[in-house]
C-alpha cells in the first residue's frame, strides 16, 4: 500500500521574511569579521620577521646608537682630537685624571680656559663690527682686514680641524653646556699626547660618512645601469655587460690607489682646492664609482625576471615610457634585494677605506678615521713596549661596526625573502 502523504501545514514551512533576515544577520557578521581583518604589507611582514632575529635587532640598535653618536659628537664633552701635549701626556694609559679644555700653556688662551678665550674672541668681533659700521669710507678697508684676520684666530679652529658652520654651532653648544670640563682620558693618549677616546669618536664620523656616501654613489650608478641593461636586453644588454666584465678584470684597488696618488700631487690638490673640493669628497666619490659593478649585475638579474610580468605589460598598454617603467615600476620592486646588498656594501667600503688609510693613501691628517687610528696604533706597537689601548679601542669600534652591518644584512636578507616566511 502506498502511504498517503499529508500536506505540510503553513506552520512547518519557513517564512520567506525569516530566511532573509537570517541571511542578513550572517552577512553582517561576515562584514564585521572582514573589517577586523587587516592585510599585512611586505615591509610589515619583513619587520615582524626581523624582530624575531635578536642578533639582527641588536645590530640595528648598535648601528642606530653609533650613528647618533657620530652625528652629535661635537656636542659631547670630549677632549680635542687635535690638541697635542708633548711634555706631559705622551702614551698615557687609560686613566681618570681630570682635564680641562684650553689649559695647555702653549695655546695662550685667556685664563687658560677655552670658555674665557671664546668670550673674549666674540667680544672683539663685536667691537670690530661696531667699528666697521661707524667708520668712514677710508677706514673701512683697514677694519675689514682686521676683522678677516680676527676670524682666522678662532679658538675653536685651534682645537678642532676646520669646523664648518654646523660643527661650529654644535661646538658652541658644547661649550655652553659643559664649559671647559671634559671626559678624562679613559682610553689613554697617543704618541703626540692626544686623547684616544676623542679621536675614536671623531673618527666614527669620517668612517661612517665614507661608507654611506660611497655606497649611495655605487647604489645610484649600479641600480640605474643594471635596470636599464636588464630591461632593454638584446645587444644593448650584451654591450653593457661586456663593459662590466672588462671593469671586473681590472684590479680596481690599483686604479684607486693610482688615481688618489695623482690627485694628491701638489698642483692637482691646489686645483681641487680652488674648486672647493677637498680630498675627502674625492675619496667618497672615487670609491663609490668602483663599487657599483656587483650591484648592477644583481639588479639586472632581478629586472630580467620581472620585465615580463603583468604589471609591466599593463604599464606598456597605458602608454608608459621606458624610463617610467624602469624607474617607477621595476626599480621599486627590486628595492628589497638592493637594501640587503646596501647593508653588505657599507662594511666592504669601510674596510676598504681603512685599508687605504692604513697604507697612508686614504684619510690624511689632521682628519681622522678608524683606519688611520689603527695604522697609528700598529706603528707604536714594538717588542720593547706595547701600547695596547691605541689599537684595542679603534680596532674594536671598527670590528663591531662591521660585524653589526653584516649581521643586519643577513637578517634583512632572511626577512625580505618570501621563501623564508614559514621557517623558524
Tens digits of pLDDT across the chain (424 residues): 444 444 544 445 455 555 566 667 777 777 676 666 665 566 677 788 888 888 989 999 999 999 999 999 999 999 989 888 888 888 888 989 888 888 888 888 888 888 888 888 888 888 888 887 777 777 777 777 877 877 778 888 888 887 888 888 999 999 999 988 999 999 989 888 899 999 999 988 888 888 888 888 888 888 889 899 988 888 988 998 898 888 888 777 777 777 777 777 777 777 777 776 666 677 777 777 777 888 888 888 888 988 888 888 888 888 888 888 888 888 888 877 888 788 778 887 877 777 777 776 777 777 888 888 888 888 777 767 788 888 889 889 888 988 888 888 888 877 776 555 555 4
Residues 373 and 267 reside in one and the same domain: yes
Structure-block grid coordinates of residue 121 = 674672541
The Cβ of residue 341 has, within 10 Å, a number of other Cβ atoms equal to 22
Report the pLDDT value the prediction gives residue 69, as an integer from 0 to 100. Answer: 92
Residues 367 and 256 reside in one and the same domain: yes
Report the pLDDT value the prediction gives residue 42, as an integer from 0 to 100. Answer: 64
Look at the chain and report how many structural domains it folds into. 2
Beta bridge partners of 181: 100
Q: Is residue 28 part of a domain?
A: no
CB burial readout 387-424, b (16+ within 10 A) else e: bebbbebbbebbeebbebbbbbbbbbbbbbeeeeeeee
CB 243 within 8 A of CB 169: no
Structure-block grid coordinates of residue 240 = 653593457
Residues 253 and 368 reside in one and the same domain: yes
Q: Is residue 237 part of a domain?
A: yes
Q: Is residue 88 part of a domain?
A: no
Q: Is residue 11 part of a domain?
A: no
Structure-block grid coordinates of residue 296 = 648592477
Structure-block grid coordinates of residue 308 = 615580463
Q: How far, in Å, CA of 393 to CA of 181, rounded?
A: 23
Report the pLDDT value the prediction gives residue 345, as an integer from 0 to 100. Answer: 80
Residues 146 and 174 reside in one and the same domain: yes
Q: Is residue 266 part of a domain?
A: yes
Rg for the chain, CA atoms, rounded: 32
Q: Which of 151, 178, 205 is the last residue of a domain?
A: 178
Q: Which residues, including other chains, have CB under 8 Å from residue 333's CB and lie 6 or more apart?
A: 302, 306
Residue with cell 692626544: 194
Q: How far, in Å, CA of 77 to CA of 185, rounded?
A: 12
Measuring CA to CA, how many Å separate 375 from each of 39, 358, 388? 53, 5, 13
Residues 352 and 402 reside in one and the same domain: yes
Report the pLDDT value the prediction gives residue 186, as an integer from 0 to 100. Answer: 92
The Cβ of residue 270 has, within 10 Å, a number of other Cβ atoms equal to 9
Report the pLDDT value the prediction gives residue 339, as an integer from 0 to 100. Answer: 80
Measuring CA to CA, how many Å separate 214 from each of 108, 254, 265, 347, 406? 40, 18, 23, 11, 17
What CATH number corresponds to the domain at position 380?
Answer: 1.10.3720.10
Q: Is residue 314 part of a domain?
A: yes
Q: Is residue 171 part of a domain?
A: yes
Residues 271 and 338 reside in one and the same domain: yes
Report the pLDDT value the prediction gives residue 1, as an integer from 0 to 100. Answer: 41
Q: Residue 215 is part of which domain span? A: 54-72+193-420
CB 140 within 8 A of CB 132: yes
Contacts 24+ apart (CB under 8 A), 125-133: 125/150, 125/151
Report the pLDDT value the prediction gives residue 10, as an integer from 0 to 100. Answer: 46
Residues 266 and 134 reside in one and the same domain: no
Amino acid at each position: 500500500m502506498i502511504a498517503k502523504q499529508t500536506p505540510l501545514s503553513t506552520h512547518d514551512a519557513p517564512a520567506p521574511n525569516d530566511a532573509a533576515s537570517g541571511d542578513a544577520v550572517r552577512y553582517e557578521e561576515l562584514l564585521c569579521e572582514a573589517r577586523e581583518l587587516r592585510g599585512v604589507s611586505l615591509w610589515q611582514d619583513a619587520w615582524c620577521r626581523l624582530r624575531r632575529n635578536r642578533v639582527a635587532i641588536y645590530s640595528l640598535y648598535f648601528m642606530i646608537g653609533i650613528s647618533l653618536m657620530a652625528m652629535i659628537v661635537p656636542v659631547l664633552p670630549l677632549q680635542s682630537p687635535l690638541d697635542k701635549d708633548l711634555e706631559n701626556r705622551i702614551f698615557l694609559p687609560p686613566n681618570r685624571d681630570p682635564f680641562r679644555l684650553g689649559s695647555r700653556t702653549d695655546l695662550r688662551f685667556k685664563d687658560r680656559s677655552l670658555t674665557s678665550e671664546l668670550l673674549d674672541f666674540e667680544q672683539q668681533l663685536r667691537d670690530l663690527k661696531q667699528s666697521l659700521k661707524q667708520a668712514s669710507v677710508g677706514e673701512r678697508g683697514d677694519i675689514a682686514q682686521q676683522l678677516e684676520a680676527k676670524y682666522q684666530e678662532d679658538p675653536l679652529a685651534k682645537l678642532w680641524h676646520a669646523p664648518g658652520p654646523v660643527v661650529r654651532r654644535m661646538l658652541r653648544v658644547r661649550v655652553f653646556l659643559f664649559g671647559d670640563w671634559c671626559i678624562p682620558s679613559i682610553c689613554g693618549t697617543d704618541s703626540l699626547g692626544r686623547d684616544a677616546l676623542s679621536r675614536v669618536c671623531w673618527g666614527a664620523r669620517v668612517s661612517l660618512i665614507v661608507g654611506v656616501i660611497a655606497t649611495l654613489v655605487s647604489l645610484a650608478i649600479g641600480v640605474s645601469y643594471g635596470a636599464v641593461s636588464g630591461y632593454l636586453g638584446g645587444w644593448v644588454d650584451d654591450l653593457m655587460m661586456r663593459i662590466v666584465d672588462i671593469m671586473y678584470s681590472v684590479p680596481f684597488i690599483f686604479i684607486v690607489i693610482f688615481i688618489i696618488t695623482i690627485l694628491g700631487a701638489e698642483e692637482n690638490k691646489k686645483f681641487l682646492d680652488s674648486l672647493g673640493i677637498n680630498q675627502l669628497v674625492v675619496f667618497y666619490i672615487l670609491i663609490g664609482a668602483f663599487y657599483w659593478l656587483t650591484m648592477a649585475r644583481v639588479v639586472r638579474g632581478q629586472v630580467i625576471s620581472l620585465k615580463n610580468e603583468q604589471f609591466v605589460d599593463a604599464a606598456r598598454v597605458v602608454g608608459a615610457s621606458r624610463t617610467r617603467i624602469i624607474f617607477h615600476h621595476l626599480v621599486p620592486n627590486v628595492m628589497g634585494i638592493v637594501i640587503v646588498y646596501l647593508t653588505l656594501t657599507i662594511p666592504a667600503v669601510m674596510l676598504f677605506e681603512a685599508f687605504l688609510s692604513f697604507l697612508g693613501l686614504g684619510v690624511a691628517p689632521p682628519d681622522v678615521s678608524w683606519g688611520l687610528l689603527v695604522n697609528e696604533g700598529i706603528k707604536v706597537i714594538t717588542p720593547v713596549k706595547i701600547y695596547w689601548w691605541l689599537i684595542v679601542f679603534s680596532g674594536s669600534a671598527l670590528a663591531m661596526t662591521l660585524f653589526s652591518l653584516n649581521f643586519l644584512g643577513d637578517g634583512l636578507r632572511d626577512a625580505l625573502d618570501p621563501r623564508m616566511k614559514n621557517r623558524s
